[in-house]
Amino acid sequence: MLQACLNGARRAPEHPALPVAPDQLAADGAAVRACGAGAVHLHVKDAAGADTLSAAELAAVLAAVRARAPGLPVGVTTGAWAAPGPAGRVSAVRSWTALPDTASVNWHEDGAEDVAAALLDRGVGVEAGLWHADAVRAWRASPLRDRCCRVLVELPDGPDAAATEERAAELLVAVGAGPDGWTPGGVPVQLHGEGSSTWPALRCARRWGLDSRIGLEDTLVLPDGSPAPGNAALVLAARSLGAG
């Protein structure tokens, strides 16, 4: 499964085609699905363009995307920067009047367990974001581990292709991902990078049979280093990319 990550924590000035408003996110959702994306992950924005967990803004985005792309699974972030403190994130989740299909939880952040529990209580699938070995250990020790709908093995900007592959392999071993791309508890694993690691990670995911993602959240450039026109172009490039 290839997921499209439409905007991330970026602000509109970072790319002319970055979708921010509900109608822009809806248009991109429809476009990436037409190009072969199986789901979208997006960050809801407030009036100033910053990430928010506000119930009203989330409801507006979900209504717009689902009207333009019915049936397309929609995931959102619960990143610590999007609400004040763990209690604030839990309160925001409990206040939602419209529910996404999934929400990512960064397992290294304070209150991750509480946020994940609140999402599960609302019937929202939890994507466990694992950026490093400490996060993997915390997730593996969690009683919620096998209730997650997806594990996100996430790689940072900076490493070259060789270092990206090495770090990815180490984290996948730590997670316990099997040759089928699932954890021992039956949770599918998605591998993706950010910045310099984006395209190398996608090639690794292709070669190892893992789910992955692509979009303006993770990179602003195509595999050849040229500027990406938008999310649809990134999805098309990802679908035509070889394992390398």
Does residue 77 surpass a pLDDT of 80? yes
DSSP one-letter code for 221: B
Helix (H) or strand (E) holding 64: helix 55-68
Stretch 50-54: mean pLDDT, rounded? 98
Whole-number pLDDT of residue 159: 96
Tell me the percentage of the chain whose pLDDT exceeds 90. 97
Which amino acid, residue 226?
Answer: S
**What integer best gives the mean pLDDT of the chain?**
97
Of the CA atoms within 13 Å of residue 126, those in its CB half-sphere come to 26
Which amino acid, residue 165?
Answer: E
Whole-number pLDDT of residue 243: 59
Does residue 208 surpass a pLDDT of 90? yes
Does residue 137 surpass a pLDDT of 80? yes
**Per the confidence metrics, is the pTM higher than 0.85?**
yes
Stretch 40-48: mean pLDDT, rounded? 97
Tell me the percentage of the chain whose pLDDT exceeds 70. 99
Q: Which domains does the chain have, with CATH numbers?
A: 2-240 (3.20.20.70)
Question: Which segment of 144-148, 179-183, 216-220 scores lowest on mean pLDDT?
Answer: 179-183
CA distance readout (Å), 236 to 2, 34, 81, 184, 214? 11, 10, 31, 32, 10
Whole-number pLDDT of residue 244: 60
Tell me the pLDDT band of 164, cut-offs 50, 70 and 90: very high
What would you measure as the largest C-alpha separation in the chain, in angstroms?
A: 45
Whole-number pLDDT of residue 142: 97
Which amino acid, residue 83?
Answer: A
Stretch 174-200: mean pLDDT, rounded? 95
